[in-house]
Amino acid sequence: MVSSQDALGFAAGTLTTVAFVPQVVRIVRLRHADDLSWWMFGIFAAGVALWLWYGLRLDALPVILANVVTLALALTILLLKWHFGRGGDEKHAPPVYGAEQEPGKDG
């Protein structure tokens, strides 16, 4: 049986972790991540790694699981940014306006 404290931790961890999935999907779909900051995601990934370490030291399963998945997603985002930033898809030119179509065009 899961305690109410752990249930709260699992719920919080699930929501904050799942929040990164749309970003990963967007990067894969658009084949670029030019608008994402290396510094922000690098510092974030380091912080998540420390939260993971903290959770391991406390043996806090909700903290451990949430941060393992969040770290994997953050590192995936960094890897995709590196891949597409170095010409991983030569056919793609990043959109000028950060979307699939230019302003003023219906579509």
- Give the closest residue to 55 by CA, choosing from 23, 13, 21, 26: 13
Residue ranges of domains in the chain:
4-82
pTM above 0.75, yes or no: no
pLDDT (tens digit, 9 = 90+) per residue, 70-107?
999 999 999 999 998 875 444 555 555 555 555 555 55
pLDDT (tens digit, 9 = 90+) per residue, 23-56?
999 999 998 888 888 999 899 999 999 999 999 9
**pLDDT over 90 at 11, yes or no:** yes
Burial (CB count within 10 angstroms: exposed 0-12, middle 13-18, buried 19+), residue 13: buried
Q: Report the alpha-carbon angle 5-48-26, nearest 5.
A: 105
Task: Please give the pLDDT value at position 2.
Answer: 85
Task: Please give the pLDDT value at position 99.
Answer: 53
Task: Please give the pLDDT value at position 59.
Answer: 96
Query: Which has the higher per-residue pLDDT, 67 or 99?
Result: 67
The domain over range 4-82 is classified in CATH as 1.20.1280.290: yes
- Cβ contacts of 101 within 8 Å, gap of 6 or more: 107
